[in-house]
Structure 1
Amino acid sequence: MNPKAHEPASLPVPGPTALAQSEALAATLRAEIASAGGWLPFDRYMERVLYAPGLGYYSGGAQKFGWRGDDGSDFVTAPELSPLFAATLARVVGDALAASGTRHLMEFGAGTGKLAAGLLAALDAAGAPVESYSIVELSGELRERQRETIEAHAPALAARVRWLDALPDRFEGVVVGNEVLDAMPVRLFARRDAVWHERGVAVTDAGGFAFSDRALNTAHDAAWSGSVLAAIEGGDDYVTETHDAALAFTRTVCAMLARGVAIFIDYGFPRHEFYHAQRAQGTLMCHYRHRAHGDPFLYPGLQDITSHVEFTGIAEAGVEAGAELLGYTSQARFLMNAGITDVLAELDPRDPERFLPAANAVQKLVSEAEMGELFKVIAFARGFDAVSAPLAAFARGDRSHTL
């Protein structure tokens, strides 16, 4: 696995209530593994620890979003980092709504609701209010947090927000997903002694969980047929992920999009970088109390598990579903093109208490050493002539040719 930024033994110990919830989830996992013959594919394990109703990381009430580990949170996202992120993204969304002639917005991975509140307020202030804002969210706890945030920061617009349990068959408008693709379950594969294995999960004698590899039958295994695994050069030991769930999600969203634009923001690489020979430990990583480590079996249901996104596959999935690739670039270039420095300039630099924290946050969003280069933005269009109305956010620095 990835080199550990923090050894699990150095991480804070959860309280008794959280530990009891984690053990309840672990018990269901042990039973599922036993009924499956003692081995569970890693993507199923990841799905359960993140999304099991009432017990998973995103459905069990954990704090998740915040600034510091001592507030019970595990990581901070761009909308939490600065309201200028939403204000800048609103410019792109407004352009996309105008170009497609639509008035509806849909968000996945809405977190605390800060991005939704910021987009609603900024679009309304710009004279381009949306008729509806749909949030696809299965967690009741997160829905309530989102509702409270929107009512606090955009009370006059809260009535336009609705929550969905499932995707509609057809949607016209703009779809936004910030850090949603990386939270999709991934399959794990390991090459050992020049033989590829699928990496799954088994129960240890002590009742914990451990990796267990099964050799692939490359002549018959569906995971191998047409897979990128066959194209990874060399015979040295190698661990990597495939993103079946994220690809299926992208196809579904782009097929649903009858007219409009879909924008996804996440950390990752194009295929030739993702499956580079030197990336031999994969990208799977866990986040707990603002510390990164490589043990996905620590505190099931209480920590986040993610993988970097392989954006070439995402681009292919969207096009296969009938959408047109609008652009692919770094978050830094996307935000700069969209005018984040102009948004910052609207603050008075003579007010250091407001201006300096905002300037520092913008630096984190666009710096190559922070989020600016690792995070990428990819966008699709469907149902209108996107060529004659390109998004300015991809006008300079578009990297679609690298996919």
Structure 2
Amino acid sequence: MMSSNRLVVGLIINPFAGIGGAVALKGSDGEETRAKALEMGAEPKAQLRAGLALEVLTPYRDKLEFVTCEGAMGAQQLAQHGFRYRSVYSQETKNSSGLDTQQAVRKIQQQGVDIIVFAGGDGTARDVYQAVDEQQLVLGIPAGVKIHSGVYAVSPKAAGRVLENIVTGKLSSIKAADVMDIDEALFRQGTVKARRFGEMLIPAELEYVQAVKMGGKESDELVLADIAAEVIERADDEHLIMGSGSTVAAIMEDMQLQNTLLGIDWVHQQQLLASDLTEQQLYERLCQLDAGQVKLVITVIGGQGHIIGRGNQQLSARVLDKIGRDNLWVVATKNKLEALQGRPLLIDSGDDSLDQQWSGLLSVITGYHDEVLVRLEAVS
């Protein structure tokens, strides 16, 4: 929706986004957290992060028109960088809140903007999602402690590059990206509990837009939460045979179920029906169900690539034959897969014929609505 050959951009900055990060508060949600962060000497960084995105766009000032909010929620940065803008929202209190973000989104949308750009974290993305129209194009400038949602660019400058591509007429596809967030209170206690809230439309510039997080303990925890959310959503009414390993354990933890780390558990509708099952017990249970009612959830042994035959001998050839290859859900982080350096996943069930039948390309769940293809081979 170009106006006078200009790209019309809505800009919203959450001034408090990320304020708790530097002082180890794991987030910025809530008035108490913000107040504590300020007491501890934290300095707001969201405006500076938004400014980095705007710097990329300064050569295109004559091709851009901004619709924004008064003061720290947008106008200050736009004025500082010399952009043309109109303010359509002013917060009523000294410190802005999530409600201000939602009201600003509604006001800005009424101006018929081409895209709404917002600086913040996952909490800000949730607030935008609450108010935005389904068909409104958006893009996040990462400025928060938690940047888990797929609606964010990989960096502030990358967000600027996405807009640069649009304003210069380069072809830009759009895609639906997930809005995710974690419970900050639990996160501060060391527990990662992620939830998908919905999705918003973003420009599909793959080199600039955030994909599943990689690297670092905290990021790996968030990826595991993503994987758990995918498995739980897929499961529906199906029975789950939960294999051993830390990735599967993270899924069990997300369901708040006791896990047998080095054993096999049986789950149905997020209820633990049996723990630490033997091969015989597994086979007997499988004989009572129709094909397709059961899914086997297993992970990859880090550094080795085995999915069958190492630490899960309960999964015998007859058990696997009852389950069927189509009912296999392999879960792993991309870090773990990349550590294999191109080597295939391995199966060693003790039955050469079954191992050959199961060999071939395999889809591995690596995040929420995120899969990669990896080759599975029999151990020679």
Aligning the two structures, in what range does the TM-score lie when normalised by the shorter sequence? under 0.3
Larger helix proportion of the pair: 1
TM-score w.r.t. length of structure 1: 0.26
TM-score w.r.t. length of structure 2: 0.27
